[in-house]
Amino acid sequence: MNGSFELVEPRFVPPLDAGFRPATLANRAFLKGVEEAGGGVPLVLALERPDGAVSRFETRVFPEDHPQADANLMYAERVLKFLLWQRGGWKVTVGGPKAIGSTIAQRYAPGGAREFDYQLMGEDVYDRAFTVVSCAPSEAPPEREMGKPLGRHLDGCRIGFDLGASDRKVSAVIDGEAVYSEEVVWEPRIHSDPEYHYREIMTALKTAAAKMPRVDAIGGSAAGVYVNNRVRVASLFRGIPKDRYDEVRSLFVRIGAEMGVPLEIVNDGDVTALAGSMSLEENGVLGIAMGSSEAGGYVDMEGNITGWLNELAFAPVDYSPEAPIDEWSGDRGVGALYFSQQCVFRLAPKAGIWVPDDVTKAERLKLVQAELEAGHEGAADIWRSMGTYLGYAIAHYADFYELKHVLILGRCTSGKGGQLILDGANQVLDREFPEIAARTKVQLPDEKVRRVGQSIAAASLPAIS
């Protein structure tokens, strides 16, 4: 499908991944070619969600009769794939050349290359049949975004929790101050009985509740898509069979009712961004949590969340045809394989580090991090590679988000690794993308916030009646 679409070798090559071909460099080369060919023709990608919200992305491509028009297909498909996981949508309107619309309709269909996305974005997330329609650019629907405030309630006695694939965190918070926090290793993905998840979460909540005189509200974060506190899609519950998934959908509604207080759960990336916005007292914050997967969240320039999915774990950042394949979505070069423990495990053999399979993933990560802290040069190259990846990814993200701050945290940023990632990202931005570096600050929170700040920010989600 690449056709004449050019993949660009980066100026800064990840030490353990010479084949890395950043999405941002390829897209920029494509758009430069379009401009040099006379400016091209408009392409509008509009994504509609069930609440009536419409996200609209406008760009330009080669005319259909241009010799390089075949490059349009790779460019448009990869941009749409990013938009679907960043913003979400059950209906895509392609306003532009007919070949682009027909190709996308074929790929995002049963039996097509993006059948996974067709199923997930349609019935699994939005309870609609996923649809692609084509039209002239002028006929594409107008933008209609629906931002809303998120959290920032700190009054009373609250519990905040964060559910990761390797550990669960919980905090007891009184008037904005954490009086107790804990982390417990668990492996939710391998369990097929929803009662396991229920028991583990209730144990965490009751442990935190015992540290306070009362509980007024509970807020939580977890990877996945949550609508009105109901689970739509979440990797934590990947092991649950379909015939029992209804028990999972209502899990947090059940827990809230049993605890007898307001409970709200949202995507962990949005809570990451909220934590950053609250601590920085700034807006325009993209939060990136590097844990068992990559979690993304965004607080816009007005201090609101957008209603977007921000599931950057499945948004492509590497266009190399040899990029690693994500086991869940089946796609290549997506964020989870570059900004999480999955990246650490993928690069460890190249760094000369053996990681045992007979321990939990949390323990495997600790083993590699111990090598890093001990001065293993190969281990340092793992985190240097992640830093290079991140610099190019932030330049890519900046085409889709209005950014003032990028906050990175999560288990992979603990210890020496966090600074290596930060240094690598800033080097790329300063040298390759100075215009982005001038307006965007990339930073790590302190160690305490990195490890438990997510659950403390989550505690602020519900308003107390």
For 436-440, what is the mean pLDDT? 98
- 29-74 pLDDT, tens digit per residue, is 999 999 999 999 999 999 999 889 999 999 999 999 999 999 999 9
pLDDT at 328 over 90: no
Q: How far apart are CA 327 and CA 292, in angstroms?
A: 14
Read off the tokens for 392. Answer: 């190019």
Q: How far apart are CA 451 and CA 353, in angstroms?
A: 25
Own/partner contacts of 182-185, CB < 8 Å, gap of 24 or more, are 182/207, 182/208, 183/451, 183/452, 185/360, 185/362, 185/363
pLDDT at 452 over 50: no
When comparing pLDDT for 382 and 455, which is higher?
382
- 150-184 pLDDT, tens digit per residue, is 889 999 999 999 998 888 999 999 998 999 999 99
Yes or no: say if 317 and 334 are a contact pair by the CB < 8 Å rule.
Answer: yes
- 181-227 pLDDT, tens digit per residue, is 999 999 898 999 999 999 999 999 999 999 999 999 999 998 888 88
Yes or no: say if 142 and 427 are a contact pair by the CB < 8 Å rule.
Answer: no
Yes or no: say if 309 and 86 are a contact pair by the CB < 8 Å rule.
Answer: yes
- 4-14 pLDDT, tens digit per residue, is 899 999 999 99
For 81-108, what is the mean pLDDT? 97
Read off the tokens for 415. Answer: 């210890």
For 404-428, what is the mean pLDDT? 95
Beta strands at 217-222 and 263-267: parallel, antiparallel or unpaired: parallel
Yes or no: say if 84 and 108 are a contact pair by the CB < 8 Å rule.
Answer: no
Which 8-state DSSP code applies to residue 11?
A: S
Read off the tokens for 277. Answer: 């916005």
Q: How far is CA 74 from CA 5, 80, 91, 146, 302, in A?
A: 7, 10, 20, 30, 34
For 352-372, what is the mean pLDDT? 94
For 109-131, what is the mean pLDDT? 95
pLDDT at 405 over 60: yes
pLDDT at 432 over 60: yes
Please spell the DSSP secondary structure of 314-380, one letter per residue.
GSB-B--TTSPBPTTT--BSBGGGTSSHHHHHHHTGGGT----SSS-HHHHHHHHHHHHHTT-HHHH
Yes or no: say if 45 and 299 are a contact pair by the CB < 8 Å rule.
Answer: no
For 423-435, what is the mean pLDDT? 98
Residues of the chain with CATH 3.30.420.40: 147-465
- 283-298 pLDDT, tens digit per residue, is 999 999 898 889 889 9
pLDDT at 143 over 90: yes
pLDDT at 410 over 50: yes
Least reliable range by pLDDT among 207-211, 230-234, 275-279, 400-404: 275-279
Q: How far apart are CA 96 and CA 59, in angstroms?
A: 10
The whole-chain average pLDDT of the chain stands at: 93
- Comparing CA positions, the residue from 20, 26, 25, 19 lying closest to residue 2 is 26
Confidence of residue 1 (pLDDT cuts 50, 70, 90): low
Confidence of residue 447 (pLDDT cuts 50, 70, 90): low
Q: How far is CA 433 from CA 13, 219, 257, 396, 465, in A?
A: 15, 38, 50, 10, 47
Least reliable range by pLDDT among 267-281, 316-330, 372-386, 425-439: 267-281
Q: What percent of the chain has pLDDT over 90?
A: 78
For 389-409, what is the mean pLDDT? 96
Least reliable range by pLDDT among 103-112, 232-241, 391-400: 232-241
For 254-276, what is the mean pLDDT? 90
Which residue's entry shows tokens 């609209």? Answer: 56
Please tell me the predicted confidence (pLDDT) of residue 446.
Answer: 67
- Comparing CA positions, the residue from 5, 28, 57, 17 lying closest to residue 395 is 28
Identity of the highest mean pLDDT range in 143-147, 269-273, 446-450: 143-147
Topology of domain 147-465 in CATH is Nucleotidyltransferase; domain 5 (3.30.420)
- Comparing CA positions, the residue from 424, 332, 346, 425 lying closest to residue 7 is 332
pLDDT at 330 over 80: yes
When comparing pLDDT for 193 and 275, which is higher?
193
Can you count the helices (H) and strands (E) in the chain? 15, 17
